Structure 1
């Protein structure tokens, strides 16, 4: 999501992989790894500031980590605030495709990619091309990994801009082209009391928990095993 004046903005891609315990790579610092268990899945996530837990005390409070703790999979979170398929992130100074190598290094077997609103204002054809290239790069590097796309979140007050569906549609087409799955998660926290920070855009701790529960439910409904 886009940051307010103090920082910058973000659309999200999530790469989830199967494997062991809970390992999280911060968008700005290094990675922390817990001792894995043989039965746990390895999960890598690529996304924007919502996935990175912008405005919270720790990335451990963001929905990927909350879901990983509940489902007991190993997580490598390479989300970067401000990043999109085209737009460069604030801390990482790159777009999603530049984060793929970090996700691939975790050797994930399930990849969840979420589109973001950080590319709003870009040409639709450019968004489609950049999205397709990123997903193809993930698929080429991880040919046996399952790839799942999640629709764009829009938490701000008012009607949802048409550009939000442009980014979601681009991801759906790209994921389908590599025989992955696309999951429309709707807007689980839009309008919810106490679920957004004062910027009316980024989730609170409670909002991240609602996202984790909603996304986990939608993934299971789609047959995605966590």
Structure 2
């Protein structure tokens, strides 16, 4: 019987696509209006201050956040440990480009902004493996820009793809670079974690070779809460 972990890992043995100068110039021109609309005058990434009511955080993401088939997932664990009110709208197999018939990150926007959150946290992107880097960047700009327009007073934080192998597969690094470029263009805080060893130890990943175990989800909760705190997201 084939090793599913090996099969999945092989997806990431991809070379980094060569940059295309003409595409890059077009991309910069295309995002200029989006950047102007998103960037706040003197405070592009407002600091959220602690209040008496629970801090409302919407999580946009993929199955690392939704769980597959986990009954314990890091957003719920984070809420328990911090007092945050977490609205987890993540969709299986979602990405900035990828949908797999379920929906992309952009398809989560309505649910994410429905209760006027204090923080919108967009995390993931690994499902965009193999997609053109310039397309990932453009879709990320579109999605993050729309979120910023819909909830202009919320703090918007972006975390790149999470993975569980060191060294980092080249294709995962490409996604990380592509999403980082979008966040930087919009002057949003970006957390690059694809090279972290959070899920490397034994017992962190299920037998499918892809998704975190309950132990892995608990590690993610601890590490992600600490990462968010560094961007100015407070405990209640």
TM-score by length of 1: 0.76
Match of 1:71 in 2: 82
Asked if residue 49 in structure 1 is aligned to residue 60 in structure 2, the reply is no
Paired residue total: 188
Match of 1:22 in 2: none
**For structure 1, which runs of at least 5 residues remain unmatched after alignment?**
5-17, 20-36
Displacement, 1:38? 4.7
**Greater Cα offset, 103-112 or 166-175:** 166-175
Query: CA-to-partner distance for each residue in 1:167-194, whole Å, 9 max, x for gaps?
Result: 2223223233333211223434332121
Q: Give yes or no for contact 2:89–2:111 (8 Å, CA) kept in 1.
A: yes
Match of 1:98 in 2: 107
Larger radius of gyration between Structure 1 and Structure 2: 2
Displacement, 1:162? 2.0
Match of 1:210 in 2: 219
Q: Aligned partners of 1:120, 1:46: CA distance in 2, in Å?
A: 18
**Greater Cα offset, 115-124 or 125-134:** 115-124
Q: Aligned partners of 1:89, 1:135: CA distance in 2, in Å?
A: 20
Query: CA-to-partner distance for each residue in 1:98-132, whole Å, 9 max, x for gaps?
Result: 11111010211211112321111111111111111
Q: Aligned partners of 1:146, 1:188: CA distance in 2, in Å?
A: 27
Q: 1:220 to 1:96 in 2, by over 3 A?
A: same
Q: Give yes or no for contact 1:188–1:210 (8 Å, CA) kept in 2.
A: no
Asked if residue 190 in structure 1 is aligned to residue 178 in structure 2, the reply is no
SS in 2 for 1:203: coil
Displacement, 1:221? 2.7
**For structure 2, which runs of at least 5 residues remain unmatched after alignment?**
5-47
Q: Give yes or no for contact 1:115–1:167 (8 Å, CA) kept in 2.
A: no
**Greater Cα offset, 128-137 or 176-185:** 176-185
Displacement, 1:94? 1.5
Match of 2:43 in 1: none
SS in 2 for 1:153: coil
Q: Aligned partners of 1:166, 1:130: CA distance in 2, in Å?
A: 15
Q: 1:89 to 1:38 in 2, by over 3 A?
A: farther
Select the structure with the greater relative contact order (CA < 8 A; seq sep ≥ 6). Answer: 2
Q: Give yes or no for contact 1:80–1:89 (8 Å, CA) kept in 2.
A: no
Supply the RMSD in Å over aligned alpha carbons: 2.3
Q: Give yes or no for contact 1:85–1:130 (8 Å, CA) kept in 2.
A: yes
1:133 corresponds, among 139, 142, 146, to 142
Q: Give yes or no for contact 2:58–2:120 (8 Å, CA) kept in 1.
A: yes
